[in-house]
Structure 1
Amino acid sequence: MKVAPLPLVVLCLFMGFTFWVMAGAEQSLLAFGAQLMSSPDTAQVVIDLYILAVLACIWMYQDAKRRGKGLGYLVPFFVLTAVFVSAGPLLYLVLRGGPETETGRL
């Protein structure tokens, strides 16, 4: 399996920082999300992120379909995207490998 190094580095840094922050958090992830949604200015940012997450899920679905993968393959990526937004697409890119052209070469 080919692993894409740049998305792997970004994923490791992002998830490491995420777990470090969550370990020191004084409230649950759900309570934090509810607090963000209680104010229009921060709710706009959360809504924007989830629009981006839906677009990323659509892209992952179309890309996986083109590569012959089924919807069952994508479920873990969708769950990660729903919780951590960028973690799902980053992991997908890591496991997807490098870019391909129609001939299979760069």
Structure 2
Amino acid sequence: MRVSIFPLVILCLFMGFTFWVMTGAEQSLLAFGAQLISSPDTAQVVIDLYILAVLACVWMYQDARSRGKGVGYVIPFFLLTAVFVSAGPLLYLVLRGGREPEAEASKV
């Protein structure tokens, strides 16, 4: 399996920071989310992130389908995206690897 290094580095840094912050948090992730949604200015940012998450899930599904994978392959990425918005697509990019040169040449 080929692994993409750049998304792997970003994923490790992001998840490391996320877990470090969560260990020192005074409230649960759900309580924090409820607090963000309670104010219109922060709710707009949360809604914006989840629109981005849905678009990323659509992209992951279409990309997986074009690579011959079924919907079952992307379900774990969708679940991860639902909790940690950018972690799902980052992990997908890590495990997806790069495009094979033959596949790119045949598309031309």
Structure 1 and Structure 2 fold alike (TM over 0.5): yes
CA distance in 1, matches of 2:68, 2:98: 16
Q: Could you report, residue by residue, the CA deviation over 1:16-73 in whole angstroms, capped at 9, with x for unpaired residues?
A: 0000000000000000000000000000000000000000000000000000001111
TM superposition score normalised by structure 1: 0.95
RMSD: 1.2
What residue in structure 2 maps to residue 35 of structure 1? Answer: 35
What does 1:12-51 correspond to in 2, within 5 Å?
Answer: 12-51=12-51
Count how many residue pairs are aligned between Structure 1 and Structure 2.
105
Q: Which moved more, 1:92-101 or 1:77-86?
A: 92-101
Q: What residue in structure 1 maps to residue 103 of structure 2?
A: 104
**5+ residue gaps in structure 1?**
none
Q: Distance in 1 between matches of 2:100 and 2:41?
A: 40
SS of 1:20's partner is helix
Deviation at 1:100, TM superposition (A): 4.2
Residue 58 of structure 2 corresponds to residue 68 of structure 1 = no
TM-score (ref. length: structure 2): 0.93
Q: Which residue of 1 aligns with 2:86?
A: 86
Gaps of 5+ in 2: none
Residue type at the aligned position of 2:83: V
Moved over 4 A (4+): none
CA distance in 1, matches of 2:49, 2:13: 19
Query: Equivalent pairs: percent with the same residue?
Result: 81
Please report how far the alpha carbon of residue 105 of structure 1 lies from its aligned counterpart in structure 2 after TM superposition.
Answer: 5.2
